[in-house]
Amino acid sequence: MSSFLLEIVTPDRKVYEEQVQMIVVKGIAGELGILAHHIPLVTPLKIAPVTVKKQGAKDELLAVHGGFMEVRKDKVVILAESAELPGDIDVERARAAKERAERRLAAKKDEFDFKRAELALQRALTRLDVTSR
- The string of pLDDT tens digits covering residues 27-59 is 998 999 999 999 999 999 999 999 999 988 889
What element of type H or E holds 33?
Answer: strand 30-35
Q: Where in the sequence is the domain holding 98, given as residue range(s)?
A: 90-132
pLDDT of residue 112: 66
Q: Same structural domain for residues 94 and 56? A: no
Q: Residue 26 maps to which CATH number?
A: 2.60.15.10
The tens-digit pLDDT sequence of the chain (133 residues) is 789 999 999 999 999 999 999 999 999 989 999 999 999 999 999 999 999 999 888 899 999 998 999 999 889 999 999 999 999 998 999 999 999 888 888 877 766 678 888 888 889 999 989 888 7
Report the distance separating Cα 24 and Cα 37, nearest Å: 15
Report the distance separating Cα 59 and Cα 30, nearest Å: 20
- Predicted TM-score of the model (pTM): 0.86
Q: Same structural domain for residues 76 and 114? A: no
Q: Same structural domain for residues 82 and 94? A: no
Report the distance separating Cα 65 and Cα 53, nearest Å: 19
Q: What is the DSSP letter of 73?
A: S
Report the distance separating Cα 52 and Cα 64, nearest Å: 12
pLDDT of residue 118: 87
3-state secondary structure at position 66? strand
